Amino acid sequence: MNHEYFMRLAIEKCFEGIRYGQSPFGACIVKSGKVISCVHNTVWKSTDITAHAEVHAIRAACKRLKTVDLSGCVIYSTCEPCPMCFSAIHWAKISTIYYGSNISDAQSLGFGELTISNKRMKSLAGSSVKVVGNFLRGEALELFNTWMMQEKRRLY
Q: Name the residues that contact a copy of itself, by CB under 8 A.
A: 43-44, 47-50, 55, 58-59, 62-63, 66-70, 82-84, 86-88, 90-92, 112, 114-116, 120-121, 124-127, 156
Phi, psi (deg, nearest 5) at residue 106: -65, -40
Cβ 154 to a copy of itself shortest distance, Å: 10
Helix ranges (H only) for 1-156 are 3-19, 53-65, 83-91, 103-109, 118-125, 137-148
Q: How far apart are the first and last CA of the chain?
A: 35
Cβ 8 to a copy of itself shortest distance, Å: 25
Q: Please identify, using beta-carbon distances, which residue of 79 and 136 lies nearer to a copy of itself.
A: 79
| H helix count then E strand count, the chain | 6, 5
Catalytic residue among 54, 80, 113, 142: 54
Active site residue 12: no
CA distance 132 to 96: 8
Q: Please identify, using beta-carbon distances, which residue of 112 and 138 lies nearer to a copy of itself.
A: 112
Cβ 83 to a copy of itself shortest distance, Å: 4
The residues annotated with a catalytic role in the active site are 54
